[in-house]
Structure formats: C-alpha cells, structure tokens
Chain A
Amino acid sequence: MSATTNVVADPVASAHVGRKSRRSVNTFPLVAPSVIVLVLWMIVPLAMTLWFSFQRYNLIVPTIQGFAGWENYEYLVTDPALWTAMKNTLLLVGWVLALTVALGVLLAILLDQDFWGRGVARLFVIAPFFIMPTVSALIWKNLLMHPVNGLFAWITSSLGLGRIDWFASLPLTSIIMIVAWQWVPFATLILLTAIQSLDEEQKEAARMDGAGPLAMFWFIILPHLGRAISVVIMIETIFFLSIFAEILVTTAGGPGLASTNLAFLIYQRALLEFDVGSASAGGVIAIILANIVAIFLVRSVARNLDA
C-alpha cells in the first residue's frame, strides 16, 4: 500500500517509462473533448470581456453605444473604489492564508497526537469545510456576531468589554474570521496527511539525539511540511481571490467600501448598475491580478510535481 500511495502525479516520469513499453495509441479522441470544451470555456468569455471592456455599454441606457477606447479603464483606474477593492482583495487573501496555514499547522500537530476519540475529534475539526459559504456567513452574522443577540455580544458584555458591532466597526476582520474558519479544516486535513507521512524512524532518531518538542517542530516537522504548505497556499489562493458569497450575505461590501473586494465591485457594477463596459474592464483587471499571482503559484506546483 505504501508504494502506491507514494505515487506522485508526474506525467513526465511515466512518459519516459511508457514510451518504451507501450504500443502507440491514438489518444486524441480521448483527450480532445475535455480540451475543446475547456478551450471554449476559457477563450469565449475572455474574448468577450476584453471586447466589452472597450465598449460603451450600459444595459439600462441602450442608446449609448460604440467604441470607448480606454475610457472604461480610465474611469476605473481613476476611481478610488478600484484601489480600495484591490487592497481589500489582497488583504483578504493574505490574512486568510496566514491564519489558515498557521492554525492548520497547529491543529494538524494536535490531531497527530495520540488521544482518546481522536478519530471523532478529527471529524469535528474538518466539518466547517463542507458548510456552504452562504450558510456559514449567515450563521456567523446572526447567531454569533449579531451586536445585540449574538453569542459573541453576550460573551464580551459578560466580560465587561461591551458589545462589538462586528460588521459595522470591523467589517473586513469579520469576513477574514469567517473565511478562515471555513478553510482552516482544509489546511489541517492536508497538513495532517503530510505529517503522517513523516518517517517514524527519522522522528525516533531525532528524539534519541535529544531533540525536544520545539526542536522537533522546527527542524523535522516544519521542513517536511514545505510541499504540503505550498499546495495549501495554491489551492486556497484560487478560491480566496474570488470570495463573494460571504461578502454579499454579511456586509454587502460596506460600510462604504470597507469590505468590497474586486469580485464584489465587479458584481456591483455589472448586475446592480448594469454598466457592462466598466464591469468588463474590472474583470480584465481581476484576471490580470489573478494571473500575476498564478504565475508564482503554478511555478511552485510545477516544481512540486517534478520533485
């Protein structure tokens, strides 16, 4: 079993072996359908977004039409909302990544310890990952963070700290908390799997050499987790760049623009203000931002798969 679970997805290595031992098979009809639909899925909307971003196009004012040049981009770039939204997007991604990785490492180490009922405890820890974002946002918004009747309000006021109106005074922080809660289980699950693949003998040897728990963590466990952490960061970033439901349900981007990220800004432009041109320009900017992030991420994944 251990041999099979150790297989790392690596098409190149197997291509090497494969070419020698296999007859050649025409794989085109097998691969083509997936590739064709994905190409369409990528190219068509992308081309349309680019096209619209250079058009004057508002769904409620159909008389205004025509080529807009860089107008939509100028309008967006000079609009402070774009920069606030970009800053919020990056803050959101950065903080939630930091929180989920840090807490995920701690939780994974905790759940790797031997204790009674560990299997059931693990199920409890991973549960938030399976909760749909609209539900978790509403649960946190109402049952926990409500300024009057929420559980947090009761706890803080019992402690004499007064009641915090979370979404009014700490909107972005509140959303970071909710998203982090949803994604800590994912990080934990992956990191736990990585910790468990750590060689027992190596740990034993370190222990024999007199390594304390802290030294074990720094010199044995943490270096071993490098690859798992990069996988967590890559997958989470894909999802965090377009956080939407949590914002829609809790703050609707407010107060003001305090919790508006790029995804929410474009949604507002497109579906609330019907400004297709400006929303498309925003979409192009979102894609560029995501690609800048993705270049680094794909590189690190590619490295991981080679290793």
Chain B
Amino acid sequence: MSTTASYTVPSEAPAKAAPPAKKAMHPATKSKIIMTVIGWTVSLLVFFPIFWMILTSFKTEVEAVQTPPSLFFHPTVENYAIVQERADYFRFAMNSVVVSLVSTIAALILAVPASYAMAFFPKPRTKDLMLWMLSTKMLPPVGVLVPMYLLWRDLNLLDTRTGLIIIYTLVNLPIVVWMLYTFFKEVPKDILEAGRMDGASPKQELWHLLMPLSLPGIASTALLAIILTWNEAFWSLNLATSQAAPLPTFIASFSSPEGLFWSKLSAASTMAVAPILIFGWMSQRQLVRGLTFGAVK
C-alpha cells in the first residue's frame, strides 16, 4: 500500500478513482454519508466567497446590495459587457498575459541549464548555492522598493512591461531553479547514462533526453511561475500604475470611488481570476511537489 502515495495525491478525478481495495474495506456506510456531508459543507464554506463573487457578477447593481441578499434573480451578463466596454480591461489583461508569459520564459531559459548542471553534475558547494538562491526570496521586496523605484525611474523602466518582466524574472528565478531541480532529480539516471554511452554531449543530453522526459515538470514549473506573476501585487502596484499596469492594479482601482458598483467589480474580478483559477486546478497535483522543493512527498 505504500505506493498509494504516488497516485492518491489530490486528484481532480472524483472519488471513484480511489483504489478498489479501499472501497471493499469501507463499504458505503453511514459514516461515509456523514463524511460526505461534513466534507462538502466545509469545502463549500471555503469556496463560498468565490461563489458569491461569481453570483454577484450576474446580478444588477440593485440586487447586489440588497439585504437580505437575493439568491434567486434573473441572471444578467450586462456587467461583463460593461466591464468589457471600458476597453481598459483588455489592456490590463494583455499586460498581465505578456508580463507573466515572457517573464516565465525568461526565468526558464536562465534556470534550465542551471538546474540541469546542479542536478546532474553537483559540485561540493552546490547545496550552499541553492540555499543562497532561496535566501534571495527572504529579502522582503519592500526593503528594496525605494532603490528599485529610483533605478527604474532613471532607466525609464517605470510603468513599462519590460520593467515588470525583468523584476518578475528575478523574483521567480530561485523558485523555478528549485522546482526544476526537484523534477530533474526524478528522471531515471539509467536513461541519461545510456545516452552518454552512445556519445551524447551534455548539450544533446539536455535537449534530446532530459527536456522531453521532464516536460510535465517543466510545464508545471511554468504554470506556477505564471500563477505567481499573474497574482503578484506589490511590484505591479508600485512600479506600473497606468500604461503597463496588469490586472491587480486594475482591480485595485475599484477600491476607491467605484467601490460601490459591486456587480461590475465582481464581473471584473471573475474575469481577472478565471484563467488562473483554471490553470491552478489543472496543475495542482504537480504544484505541491514543486512548491515544497520535494521536501514533502
């Protein structure tokens, strides 16, 4: 049964995917019914704010602020149309897409060779090097906000996509290196050895053997970097306030005077989180392993 660890990790597949042996041990009993009720009650409670946001986005503004809250109403997509009409939304969304994709690709380009070298040709100081990389994450961004702001101002990078891309590449680099390292470690060594016997150079080994073999790992590393960048708010709120502003800034602008247009706010929020929520759900299984740097099985 020790093998269950590898395929009962949080799974998108419903419970029926559980090993049949387990089912036979616990037939559908009263306790299972009780667990189902508790499990679903708690899960829906945790999910509730998101559900409520989605629900509110289909209400009219009047219905949105009604007390007692209206559960039954004629859904309208008007809010989405209005948010879209502001045209602004797409500029912000476009900034988010470009910044998260490009910075993720840049981080991967830097990290793949480094992780490859550290995973397969470790030197005595490799471990220290990796811990040092991680320690750059410990540096609170607010500690270096002022110089970054002034530097970016002088380099004309303030409020540009390039400026944000550089920052996010650097911010995510340590995590990307660690995750790739973890995934590379799981590639069976025999296959690489065999390639080496056939005379593959390290470069060929990396491109033709390691990359294809660890594609799922690289994909989920990329997904995590995209999610983190998409949701990051500190640098984007401080360094990109208008032209290059991504979605967090767009949403934050609703906090002031327009705060009371709840259903439009909800519609905009739903649009801002939907892509990343779907991404996250798709990759959650791999994310855990990567996020903990393999320290938790």
- Chain A residues lying within 8 Å of B194, measured Cβ to Cβ, are none
- Chain B residues lying within 8 Å of A139, measured Cβ to Cβ, are 49-50, 52-53, 266, 269
Minimum Cβ distance to chain A for residue B93 (Å)? 12
Task: Contact check, A38 vs B174: say whether CB atoms are below 8 A apart.
Answer: yes
- Contact mask for chain B residues 261-297; partner A; CB cutoff 8 A; 1 contact, 0 none: 0100110010011001101110010011101111111
Task: Contact check, A132 vs B276: say whether CB atoms are below 8 A apart.
Answer: yes
Bound-state Cα–Cα, A155 to B56, Å? 17
- Chain A residues lying within 8 Å of B254, measured Cβ to Cβ, are 138
Minimum Cβ distance to chain A for residue B237 (Å)? 6
Secondary structure at the A interface, as helix, strand, loop or mixed, is helix
Query: CB < 8 Å: which of B50, B131, B143, B185 contacts A283?
Result: B143
| Most chain B Cβ neighbours within 10 Å, of A30, A270, A280, A298 | A30
Query: CB < 8 Å: which of B38, B148, B260 contacts A110?
Result: B38
| Most chain A Cβ neighbours within 10 Å, of B122, B185, B249, B287 | B122
Indicate whether A31 sits within 8 Å of B292 (C-beta atoms), given known contacts A7-B186, A124-B44, A193-B9.
no
Indicate whether A154 sits within 8 Å of B69 (C-beta atoms), given known contacts A30-B117, A270-B146, A290-B140.
yes
Name the interface residues of A66-118: CB closer than 8 Å to any CB of B: 107, 110-111, 113-118
Q: How many residues of B contact A (CB 8 A)?
A: 128
- Chain A residues lying within 8 Å of B47, measured Cβ to Cβ, are 124-125, 127-128
Q: How many residues of A contact B (CB 8 A)?
A: 125
Task: Contact check, A48 vs B147: say whether CB atoms are below 8 A apart.
Answer: yes
Task: Contact check, A46 vs B142: say whether CB atoms are below 8 A apart.
Answer: no
Bound-state Cα–Cα, A31 to B231, Å? 28
B76 at the interface (CB under 8 A from A): no
Which residues of B pack against A, CB within 8 Å? 1-15, 17-18, 22, 26, 32, 35-36, 38-40, 42-44, 46-47, 49-50, 52-53, 56, 65-69, 110-111, 113-114, 116-124, 126-127, 129-131, 133-151, 169-170, 173-174, 177-178, 181-182, 185-186, 188, 193, 202, 227, 230-231, 233-234, 237-238, 247-249, 251-252, 254-255, 259-260, 262, 265-266, 269, 272-273, 276-277, 279-281, 284, 287-289, 291-297
Which residues of A pack against B, CB within 8 Å? 1-2, 4-12, 14-15, 18, 21-22, 24-25, 27, 29-31, 33-35, 37-38, 41-42, 44-46, 48-49, 52, 107, 110-111, 113-144, 148-149, 151, 153-154, 158, 181, 184-186, 189-190, 192-194, 196-197, 199-201, 227-228, 231, 235, 238, 241-242, 244-245, 248-250, 262-263, 266-267, 270-271, 276, 279-280, 283-284, 286-287, 290-291, 293-294, 297-298, 301-302, 304-305
